[in-house]
Amino acid sequence: MTSKIEKEDLSRRNFIFGSIAAAGLTVAPGVMLYQTANARDLSKAASSKVRWGMLIDTSRDVDWNKCVEACVKEHGLGNEEHSRPDQRTQYIRVVEVKNKSTGYSMSLPVMCQHCEQPPCVDVCPTGASMKREDGIVLVDRHRCIGCRYCMMACPYKARSFVHETLTDQSTTTPRGKGCVESCNMCVNRVDNGQLPACVEASEGAIVFGNLNDPESDISKLLAKHGGKQIRADLKLNPGVQYQGI
């Protein structure tokens, strides 16, 4: 992963998540060890020169469940005590796709696709659902009123609603009853110069990087092999793209 982080003005959005990540640093000093030259200066806003994206190679023979496990661990998911299975939070899931006529089947991980034109951001009445300058789409959980309109609008079913009071939370991913949440591309890690948890667990099958930098690995791969978007017909231009679907 190579990226140049530009210095930009401080904005509300980045301030909030910057400060959460910063809090993470003090709570979990170990995180500091990972801080690299790529880490974002947390006093500065994320740059629009950066658009984070992922390229997922579904033809690779990897166990995608490892990515799911890494995500669950990173964000402290799976700690619901009362919720039914259909009420539990899932940021990322493995979808089995089968062609009825040919019998061909494959599986792929699906999470928030971090659209360039995110419907969840358009519909959110309070602006809690938002897209950072660097393309990451997430919910400001201090501003979310839990109307669930964004869940209705998401074409990827990427969002979950917290159906109960949660205890034993991860310090870097605050979650709260009555709010909506979804994959945030591991902002806490990315702002720290680390890779998202699922990318790290993918044995190289998921490439993470700056889509706006033609020299980044992800851009070069996309230029060479192309990438496919799920529901490309909706013209949302997701930042998560696939090969082999």
Partner 1 sequence: MKKLHFLEVEGNSRGFYTLLGVFGLISLIGMFAAYYMEHHGHYVTGMSNQVVWGTPHVFAIFLIVAASGALNVASISSVFAKTAYKPLARLSGMLAIALLAGGLVVLLLDLGRPDRLIVAMTKFNFLSIFTWNIFLYTGFMGIVAVYLWTMMDRPYNKLTKKAGMGAFIWRLVLTTGTGSIFGFLIAREAYDTALLAPMFVIMSFAFGLAFFMLVLMASYKYTDRPLGDYIINRLKNLLGVFVAAVLYFVIVYHITNLYSADHQGVSAFILADGGIYTFLFWVVQIGLGSLLPLLLLYGPTGKNRTMIGLASALIIIGGLAQLYIIIIGGQAYPMVMFPGMEVSSSFYDGVVASYSPSLPEVLLGVGGVGVTLLLVTVSVAALKFLPASLADEVADPHAK
Residues that bind partner 1 (CB under 8 A): 80, 82-84, 86-90, 93-100, 110, 119, 121-127, 143-149, 151-157, 159-165, 177-180, 230-231, 234, 245
- Confirm if 113 and 158 have CB atoms less than 8 A apart: yes
Min dist CB 187 to ligand SF4, Å, is: 16
| Distant-in-sequence, close-in-space partners of 185: CB < 8 Å, separation ≥ 6 | 52, 54, 112, 114, 136, 138, 196
- Confirm if 218 and 4 have CB atoms less than 8 A apart: no
- φ, ψ dihedrals at 206, nearest 5°: -115, 125
Nearer to partner 1, 152 or 223 (CB): 152
Nearer to ligand SF4, 49 or 143 (CB): 143
Indicate the residue type of 59.
S
Binding site partner of 224, from partner 1, ligand SF4, none, Cβ cut-off 5-8 A by kind = none
Min dist CB 206 to ligand SF4, Å, is: 26
Min dist CB 16 to partner 1, Å, is: 13
Binding site partner of 162, from ligand SF4, partner 1, none, Cβ cut-off 5-8 A by kind = partner 1
Binding site for ligand SF4 (CB under 6 A): 123-126, 128-129, 139, 144-150, 180
Backbone angle region of 206, left / alpha / beta, with phi > 0 → left and psi within -120 to 50 → alpha: beta
Nearer to ligand SF4, 27 or 145 (CB): 145
Nearer to partner 1, 122 or 215 (CB): 122
CA distances from 52 to 71, 100, 127, 200, 239 (A): 18, 35, 21, 15, 7
Min dist CB 155 to ligand SF4, Å, is: 15
Nearer to partner 1, 196 or 238 (CB): 238
Binding site partner of 139, from partner 1, ligand SF4, none, Cβ cut-off 5-8 A by kind = ligand SF4
Backbone angle region of 103, left / alpha / beta, with phi > 0 → left and psi within -120 to 50 → alpha: left
Q: Which residues of 113-132 are buried (b: 16+ CB within 10 A; e: fewer)?
A: bbbbebbbbeebeeebbbbb
